[in-house]
Structure 1
Amino acid sequence: MTFEQFFKQAKLNPHAHLITGVICGYRVEEIENPLTQQVRYLDKLVDELAKGRKMEKILRTE
């Protein structure tokens, strides 16, 4: 399965667009390609969860 297939089938959190910051040297909110941005959202989410941050804080729903 490719990333494209994965994200076509995935239901993203409606707050995913609120994920901000730098991952792999790129600001997530500035990435223009939608597929690349979704992949970086996932990267950022995993990175922040690994650091012990709560999902609510990452998605700014608190």
Structure 2
Amino acid sequence: MSELSQEVKNELLAEIAQLETQLTGNMFDDMDIKGKIHNIKMKVDGTRPPESVIECVGCGS
């Protein structure tokens, strides 16, 4: 996976902060938002499933 520029990282972190303001504390209502936050954090951290050449698509998230 290629490195993200600092500008892109900042945009993604701002998106996470914006999504976090939408959390209600209700697990079921928050599931989609938490999933989006998780996926963005994986992009920021450069995370992908172990032993996978496929970036995140292969993990089923």
Q: Higher strand proportion, which one? A: 1
With normalisation by structure 1, the TM-score equals 0.36
Larger radius of gyration: 2
With normalisation by structure 2, the TM-score equals 0.37
Q: Higher helix proportion, which one? A: 2
